[in-house]
């Protein structure tokens, strides 16, 4: 039974799990974290002393109370110094902590990327690649915003609330401190509740945004197909439908934000007025000075400035956590194909391949291969032929262990490949796939990819063997020609030859050619076949072929039909048997005669 895939958004770990996962990434620079915390505390201390300074200045400068003997120079200078310290330590904190966040982002992105390459083919076929890269991008920027908001907003604000409450309590008695705390608690509770409520609108907007994006990307990737069918209008209509949903979500998003801001302002204005009334009564009673009035006002305003962003900050933090959760959730995806704990490395250079009563299906419902058995002795060549959909490419994928068999075994060098390390197994196998996809880079890069680090001579030799040299010589930019996204600027045949060249460069013990010459014309095919025969001579080779004329020299030919071995033998033997192979051969010979 294959494990089922979770839907794309449902596999996020809880917030605490996310924070626990993030934690190790922050411990790389403990010194920086400590200094940043110190700066945070110093900045806030300077900040809460400011209104006190203001109070003394106002009191000293108030005319009438007592004659101004000297301008309170020291106080003014101290006020200036505190203001500077407040900003300076804040800047210093950003400066020191920035590195911590940036390194954490880098490490996390790399870790997820590496993990994605460890996951199996089925995972990648099921997932949308655009969605994956968005998950990483958002998760990484989520780390940044979470840390920034925590350190630059939440922590300083909490510290400030505590300090201000203490100062008010100490200087002006309980009522001021209580009003402050009550209004702050009310404010936070309101912001969090409303933010939670409007979260669904925010999330909907995000989902719809991503849906519209995926549509656009998919449509642009299929540019040629769209043109072939003249479906530009259809594509535009579909994109617009996605955009329209997004538009509605944005409107709801905006309206609910206004509700949040309105409520917050009401709470701030209410508590500020209440306090001012209280303070002015005290002044009237002579229990407070004008300076106190100014100081209390300054404290309240100073306190609510960062809280003003609370709804936004809370939402951003939640969003960051969700985004990070989705990214870290990828790390919790386990590959279906893993190395056995006691897996061995394949070392031998001359290895045989055996399929032993292999049964396999991509899903549980449909079996693709039924009881398939064959053997390729070291250095020998086996050809598989058969109609499209018979399961030929599946054989190649099983040998490369992109999937595990459900019955029987695939053996290399006599060892069940599930007992081998994937790295060593795959290092022994060169594949020229049926559809070659290239990197959006130069021809040279794409060929050299077969063995990064190969010299220029080696790359050119491989290109010659694959009969690419003539083509490259015609190109104005030669090896530096850019092949376009997925290699779209090359013809099918050219791409296949690049694939052949890089497989040759890899120089593996086992070669798989999956209809590797199907996109070539007969002349190039013959030329390359000679080269391939040369290559195959010393290697164990599995050739999947469409044109039978290309595999007449195989040591054994297997005719696969509907996932079963229908016929097997040498070319001559199969012809003599007069079965399906012989009929197919006759058919293809007639076609070739017709071509001439």
Ligand X SMILES: Nc1ncnc2c1ncn2[C@@H]1O[C@H](COP(=O)(O)OP(=O)(O)O)[C@@H](O)[C@H]1O
Where on the chain is the footprint of ligand X (CB under 6 A)? Answer: 125, 362, 368, 388-394
Secondary structure element (H or E) that encloses residue 511, with its range: strand 510-514
DSSP category for residue 442: B
Q: 245 or 561: whose CB is closer to ligand X?
A: 561
- The piece of 17-25, 146-154, 431-439, 486-494 that touches Mg ion (CB under 5 A) is 431-439
**Min dist. Cβ of residue 566 to ligand X (A):** 13
Do residues 448 and 512 make contact, with C-beta atoms less than 8 angstroms apart? no
Distance (Å, whole) CA 465 – CA 528: 8
Residue 445 contact partner, candidates Mg ion, ligand X, none, CB within 5 to 8 A by sort of partner: none
Q: What is the closest distance, in whole angstroms, from the C-beta atom of residue 389 to ligand X in the complex? A: 4
Query: Given the rule CB under 5 A, which of 160-168, 211-219, 427-435, 525-533 is the region that contacts Mg ion?
Result: 427-435
- Nearer to ligand X by Cβ, of 330 and 396: the residue is 396
318 binds, among ligand X, Mg ion, none (CB under 5 to 8 A by kind): none
In whole angstroms, what is the distance from residue 49 CA to residue 89 CA? Answer: 14
Q: Which stretch binds Mg ion (CB under 5 A): 78-86, 369-377, 408-416, 432-440?
A: 432-440
Say if residues 82 and 50 touch (Cβ distance below 8 Å).
yes
Quote the CA–CA distance of 322 and 330 in Å, as a whole number: 13
In the complex, what is the shortest distance from the CB of residue 362 to Mg ion, in angstroms, rounded to a whole number? 13
Q: How far is the CB of 544 from ligand X (least distance, A)?
A: 7
Task: Choose the contact partner of 389 out of ligand X, Mg ion, none; CB within 5 to 8 A by kind.
Answer: ligand X
Instruction: Kindly provide the b/e burial profile for residues 257-270, where b requires at least 16 CB atoms within 10 angstroms of the residue's own CB.
Output: beebeebbeebbee
Helix (H) or strand (E) holding 7, with range, is none
Residue 495 binding: pick among Mg ion, ligand X, none (C-beta 5-8 Å cut-off by kind): none
Shortest Cβ distance from residue 566 to Mg ion (Å)?
A: 17
- Looking at 167-175, 306-314, 390-398, 527-535, which segment touches Mg ion (CB under 5 A)? 390-398
258: Cα separation from own chain's centroid = 34
Least distance to Mg ion from the beta carbon of 503, Å? Answer: 17
Query: Shortest Cβ distance from residue 514 to Mg ion (Å)?
Result: 6
- Residue for token digits 């259809």? 234
Strand partners, 564: 561
* Distance between start and end Cα atoms, the chain: 52
CA angle 12, 13, 17 (to 5 degrees): 150
Return the biggest CA–CA distance within the chain. 125
- Which listed option, Mg ion, ligand X, none, makes contact with residue 322 (CB within 5 to 8 Å by class)? none
Q: Tell me whether residue 392 or residue 467 sits nearer to Mg ion (CB atom).
A: 392
The residue (of 323 and 515) whose beta carbon lies closer to ligand X is 515
Residue with smaller CB distance to Mg ion, 282 or 397: 397
Rule CB under 5 A: choose which of 393, 422, 481, 541 binds Mg ion.
Answer: 393
Nearer to ligand X, 310 or 353 (CB): 353
H helices present in 406-468, as ranges? 422-427, 443-448, 456-465
Q: Which residues contact 307 (CB under 8 A, 6 or more apart)?
A: 157, 184, 187, 188, 191, 264, 268
What does 148 bind: Mg ion, ligand X, none (CB cut-off 5 to 8 Å by kind)? Answer: none
**What is the full DSSP assignment across 114-134?**
HHHHHS-HHHHHHS-HHHHHH
Q: Which is nearer to ligand X, 173 or 389 (CB)?
A: 389
Nearest CB to ligand X, comparing residues 438 and 512: 512
Least distance CB 522 / ligand X (angstroms) = 21
Residues that bind Mg ion (CB under 5 A): 392-393, 434
């Amino acid at each position: 039974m294959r494990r089922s895939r979770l839907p794309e958004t449902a596999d996020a770990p809880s917030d605490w799990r996310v924070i626990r996962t993030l934690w190790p990434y922050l411990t790389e620079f403990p010194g920086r974290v400590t200094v940043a915390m110190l700066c945070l505390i110093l900045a806030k201390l300077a900040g809460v002393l400011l209104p006190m300074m203001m109070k003394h200045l106002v009191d000293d400068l108030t005319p009438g109370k007592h004659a101004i003997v000297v301008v309170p120079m020291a106080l003014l200078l101290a006020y200036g110094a505190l203001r500077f310290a407040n900003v300076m330590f804040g800047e210093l904190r950003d400066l020191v902590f920035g590195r911590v966040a940036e390194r954490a982002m880098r490490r996390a992105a790399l870790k997820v990327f590496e993990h994605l390459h460890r996951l199996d083919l089925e995972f990648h076929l099921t997932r949308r690649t655009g969605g994956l890269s968005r998950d990483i991008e958002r998760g990484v920027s989520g780390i940044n915003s979470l840390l920034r908001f925590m350190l630059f907003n939440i922590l300083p604000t909490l510290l400030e609330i505590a300090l201000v409450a203490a100062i008010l309590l100490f200087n002006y008695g309980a009522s001021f401190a209580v009003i402050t705390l009550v209004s702050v608690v009310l404010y936070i509770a309101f912001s969090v509740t409303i933010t939670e409520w409007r979260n669904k609108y925010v999330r909907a907007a995000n989902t719809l945004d991503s849906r519209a994006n995926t549509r656009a990307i998919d449509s642009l990737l299929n540019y040629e197909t769209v043109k072939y069918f003249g479906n530009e209008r259809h594509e535009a209509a579909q994109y617009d439908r996605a955009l329209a949903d997004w538009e509605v979500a944005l409107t709801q998003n905006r309206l609910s934000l206004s509700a949040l801001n309105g409520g917050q302002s009401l709470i701030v204005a209410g508590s500020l007025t209440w306090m001012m009334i209280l303070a002015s009564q005290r002044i009237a009673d002579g229990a407070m000075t004008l300076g106190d009035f100014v100081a209390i006002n300054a404290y309240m305003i100073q306190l609510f400035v960062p809280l003003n962003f609370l709804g936004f900050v809370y939402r951003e933090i939640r969003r960051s956590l969700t985004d990070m959760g989705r990214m870290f959730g990828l790390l919790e995806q386990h590959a279906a194909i893993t190395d056995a704990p006691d897996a061995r490395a394949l070392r031998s250079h001359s290895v045989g391949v055996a399929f032993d009563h292999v049964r396999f299906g991509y899903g549980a419902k449909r079996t693709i291969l039924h009881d398939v058995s064959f053997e390729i002795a070291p250095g020998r060549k086996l050809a598989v032929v058969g109609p499209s959909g018979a399961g030929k490419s599946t054989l190649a994928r099983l040998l490369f262990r992109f999937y595990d068999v459900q019955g029987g075994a695939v053996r290399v060098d006599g060892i069940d490949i599930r007992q081998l390390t994937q790295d060593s197994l795959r290092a022994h196998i060169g594949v020229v796939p049926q559809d070659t996809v290239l990197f959006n880079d130069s021809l040279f890069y794409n060929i050299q990819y077969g063995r990064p680090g190969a010299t220029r001579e080696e790359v050119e030799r491989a290109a010659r063997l694959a009969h690419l040299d003539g083509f490259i010589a015609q190109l104005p930019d030669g090896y530096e020609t850019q092949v376009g996204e997925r290699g779209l600027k090359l013809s099918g045949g050219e791409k296949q030859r690049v694939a052949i060249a890089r497989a040759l460069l890899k120089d593996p013990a086992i070669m798989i050619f999956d209809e590797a010459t199907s996109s070539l014309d007969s002349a190039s095919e013959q030329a390359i076949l000679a080269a391939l025969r040369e290559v195959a001579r010393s290697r164990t080779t599995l050739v999947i072929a469409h044109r039978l004329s290309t595999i007449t020299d195989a040591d054994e030919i297997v005719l696969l039909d509907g996932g079963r071995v229908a016929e097997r033998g040498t070319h001559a033997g199969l012809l003599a048997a007069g079965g399906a192979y012989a009929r197919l051969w006759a058919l293809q010979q007639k076609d070739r005669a017709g071509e001439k």
